[in-house]
Structure 1
Amino acid sequence: MKLKQLYIKLTSWEYWPMWVLYVPVFLQHYWLSIKAKSLFYFLKVNPAIGEGFILSDTKYTTLQLVPETYRPKTVLIAKGSTLKALKATLQDNNLHFPIIVKPNIGFRGLLVHLCKNEEDLRGIHFNKADYIVQEYIAYPVEVGIFYYRFPNKTSGQIPSITLKEFLTVTGNGTHTLEELIKEKPRALLQYKKLEKKFKHKWHYVVPEGKTIKLETIGNHNRGTKFINGNAILDNQLLKVFDDLNGQMPGFFYGRFDIRAKSINDLKQGKNFKILEVNGIGAEPTHIYDPSYKLFNAWKEMLHLWKVAYQIAMLNKEKGEKFPVFSEAKKRYLQYKNYKKIAFTH
């Protein structure tokens, strides 16, 4: 099984180490830094986000940029909080199970949990770092929309739309859940996690036609399949995000992770919630579509980082000052320390 897992990873670049995607970006960055006269110009792409580094924007603060209509009910839980205090906070904010619990500064879906009851919450409660609790949005469609707008323009661009296909298996009436998982490459890569999660159903023979959702969190490292959805882009969808971004002063570049009742509703600006807003560290996740070529992914990344540079320079013209080394170092060390504390729990 380990050999099969290794083969899947070697033959699909979407599973390769993250740095492979960023080699051309690093090289381009140094050239753009010379032009900008700053290694850290990217920290002024979104002036409204002032405390993070590349991947360290706080989820709670960034989400507050979104108009309340489009935000799930979300509360910030300070590190050191007891489970009793957490339960009281949930009650005070009228938050009911199921809920989503995740670090306030995250990394590719690590430590994101769906808690269906108090027992689940007790099992994952951690108090070493700040985290957030969010109402669970049960809409069936999850999509990532990358949007950017130049500060001197009133309309922006959507270069990336990602549709998410959650990890599932469908029974045939003869194979057990374990056997079905072994036959599906994306599920096989999650074998150990799924064995622990479904230990009571591991040898259950799944009836023919019955579909079991193996994962409810729409992250790539949880087995979710990212599908290139750029074909659904039209002027109606762009207008929704132009209108949305018009209510977010100081935010010009990033990805919105969304749950919606349907794509049609999303295009009409209704029945959707923005789960997260990712700034300069956001990726155009449609590139992780299994059919997408690595060379094309490099082109997309280079283009978007050039756009980030152009936005930063326009913001500089409007009075923004690029961070000096000491400030950038402080931001980076804060993120490094948070990651060490939160992700080693």
Structure 2
Amino acid sequence: MRARDRWRTLRIRALNWEYWPWRIVYIPLFIQYFWHGLRSGFSFPTVLNRPYMEYGGIIEESKWQMYTKTPEGFMPATLFHPAGSDPSFTARRIRELRMSYPLIAKPDRGMRGKGIEIIASEKDLRHWNPHPDFDFILQTYLDYPLEIGAFVIRDPGNREWRVSSLMQREFLGVTGDGSSDLEQLIRANDRAFLQLERWRKNNRYNLKTVLPAGKYLKLEDIGNHRLGTCFRDISHLGDTQLCTTLSQIANQLPGFEYGRMDIRFDSWDTFLKLQNWALIEVNGANSEPAHIYDPGHSLFYAWKSLLHHFALQHKLAAKRIQTGEKPILIRQAKQLLKRYNHTMTDLD
């Protein structure tokens, strides 16, 4: 990377808190967690979302285990790929199950979009080289145009759901002007520019291609923030009808009570009728109200929302503990954290 590009990258990341390391953004939450931990035990979040999530969704959750507990038809067709398995064997299983390509591969216990990739064909799958130490899941990739992250919380008293955060993913793309090549179009957009070096390395695009005027090119199919997706706050769309639809989905996830559901669908009209949609992923106690990453929101706004959600999380967990639920032992929590840190480092 040229010195000028390195400086621009540093400037973009420094001036936009959404790109800061999460450990810095979370400093106020660490303080709040310590306070709640003194009162309820430091592994209190692990009592939530049982039995749907083994550890409440705070760390080291298996996507495959959640898939097996989710009603049939809610999630895309999914196959488990054990660590060290031969991709050729997995390709045969894909054929037997009549799963269609493209597929999206995800580490079974990964987080923050690490290790995710799209596999376009059986040929690509046979040449796929996943990390040999980790389990993966392979899902049919559904190219629905809309994807949201809906944070829902179930009141422990009246058992009713409320939607506390609504975010829509805006996939990264550029529009041609008939004269600029692809690299010039990417450089004109700070969010796209941050991905330029990655595209150079993987040769995904011919950066000298000139797009016709008005032609839109979607640059990234995976709706992950670290891959350039923009998160838009759509909380104003959270009306009674949408809340009812989301409640119908959440009610079918056994024991789920706090977290974010990532959902893809064809259109708002069809989704409200629960047609042409899919539950892509469910996140529990470690999930964020992702609307805070809207570029229009300040860091102070984000802190306020994060602290509010974390306080609600502790309130729910405290009620669970009062009714007899037992958090995991601190020793076990430390082991899980160690394994998680190892996983995230190796997936980089």
Task: Report the TM-score when normalising by structure 2.
Answer: 0.93
CA RMSD of aligned residues (A): 1.7
Structure-1 residue corresponding to 2:320: 315
SS of residue in 2 equivalent to 1:175? coil
SS of residue in 2 equivalent to 1:101? strand
Structure-2 residue corresponding to 1:128: 133
SS of residue in 2 equivalent to 1:205? coil
SS of residue in 2 equivalent to 1:335? helix
1:171-320 pair list within 5 angstroms = 171-198=176-203, 201-320=206-325
CA contact (8 A) 1:142 1:257 kept: yes
Q: CA deviation at 1:53?
A: 6.8
* d(CA) in 1 for partners of 2:278, 2:124: 24
* d(CA) in 2 for partners of 1:16, 1:200: 28
* d(CA) in 1 for partners of 2:335, 2:56: 10
Taking a change above 3 Å as real, the CA distance of residues 50 and 140 of structure 1, as seen in their structure-2 partners, is same
| Counterpart pick for 1:40 among 26, 43, 54 | 43
Matched, 1:109 2:113: yes
* d(CA) in 2 for partners of 1:52, 1:305: 14
* d(CA) in 1 for partners of 2:69, 2:156: 16
* d(CA) in 2 for partners of 1:284, 1:294: 13
* d(CA) in 2 for partners of 1:10, 1:123: 38
In the alignment, residue 110 of structure 1 is paired with which amino acid?
K
Matched, 1:77 2:64: no
| Counterpart pick for 2:329 among 324, 330, 342 | 324
CA contact (8 A) 1:52 1:58 kept: no
CA contact (8 A) 2:48 2:56 kept: no
Q: CA deviation at 1:104?
A: 0.5
* d(CA) in 2 for partners of 1:199, 1:144: 28
1:150-169 pair list within 5 angstroms = 150-169=155-174
Identity %: 34
Q: CA deviation at 1:262?
A: 1.2
Q: Which has the higher contact order (CA 8 A, sep 6+)?
A: 1
In the alignment, residue 45 of structure 1 is paired with which amino acid?
L
* d(CA) in 2 for partners of 1:233, 1:144: 12
In the alignment, residue 72 of structure 2 is paired with which amino acid?
E
Q: CA deviation at 1:94?
A: 1.5
SS of residue in 1 equivalent to 2:263? strand
Q: CA deviation at 1:91?
A: 1.6
* d(CA) in 1 for partners of 2:251, 2:183: 49
SS of residue in 2 equivalent to 1:206? coil
Structure-1 residue corresponding to 2:14: 10
Moved more, 269-278 or 122-131: 122-131
* d(CA) in 1 for partners of 2:204, 2:314: 49
| Counterpart pick for 1:22 among 20, 26, 29 | 26
Taking a change above 3 Å as real, the CA distance of residues 255 and 199 of structure 1, as seen in their structure-2 partners, is closer
CA contact (8 A) 1:53 1:328 kept: no
SS of residue in 1 equivalent to 2:26? helix
* d(CA) in 1 for partners of 2:204, 2:144: 27
Task: Report the TM-score when normalising by structure 1.
Answer: 0.94
* d(CA) in 2 for partners of 1:200, 1:276: 29
Q: CA deviation at 1:121?
A: 2.4
Q: CA deviation at 1:223?
A: 0.5
Taking a change above 3 Å as real, the CA distance of residues 328 and 202 of structure 1, as seen in their structure-2 partners, is same
Q: CA deviation at 1:198?
A: 4.7
CA contact (8 A) 1:102 1:132 kept: yes
CA contact (8 A) 2:170 2:229 kept: yes
In the alignment, residue 140 of structure 2 is paired with which amino acid?
E
CA contact (8 A) 2:49 2:57 kept: no
CA contact (8 A) 1:141 1:261 kept: yes
CA contact (8 A) 2:76 2:280 kept: yes
Taking a change above 3 Å as real, the CA distance of residues 84 and 244 of structure 1, as seen in their structure-2 partners, is same
SS of residue in 2 equivalent to 1:133? strand
In the alignment, residue 205 of structure 1 is paired with which amino acid?
V
Once the two structures are superposed, what CA deviation does each residue of 1:49-95 show, in whole Å capped at 9, x if it has no partner? Answer: 11577332111212333322211111111111102211122122221
* d(CA) in 2 for partners of 1:17, 1:336: 15
